[in-house]
Amino acid sequence: MKYTIDKKENYTIITIDEKKLDTTIAPDLKSEFVKLNAEGITNLILDLSNVKYTDSSGLSSILIANRLCNSSGGVLILTGLQEHVTKLITISKLESVLNILPTVEEGIDRVFLHEIESDLTKKEE
Q: What is the pLDDT of residue 64?
A: 96
Q: What is the pLDDT of residue 125?
A: 66
- Profile the chain (125 residues) by mean pLDDT over runs of 10 residues: 92 96 93 95 96 94 96 96 94 94 97 91 76
Q: What is the pLDDT of residue 123?
A: 78
- Rounded to two decimals, the pTM is 0.92
HEC readout, 40-77 = CCCCEEEECCCCCEECHHHHHHHHHHHHHHHHCCCCEE
Instruction: Work out the burial of residue 90: count CB atoms within 10 Å of its CB; fewer than 13 is exposed, 13-18 middle, 19 or more buried.
Output: exposed
Is 3-124 in CATH node 3.90.550.10?
no
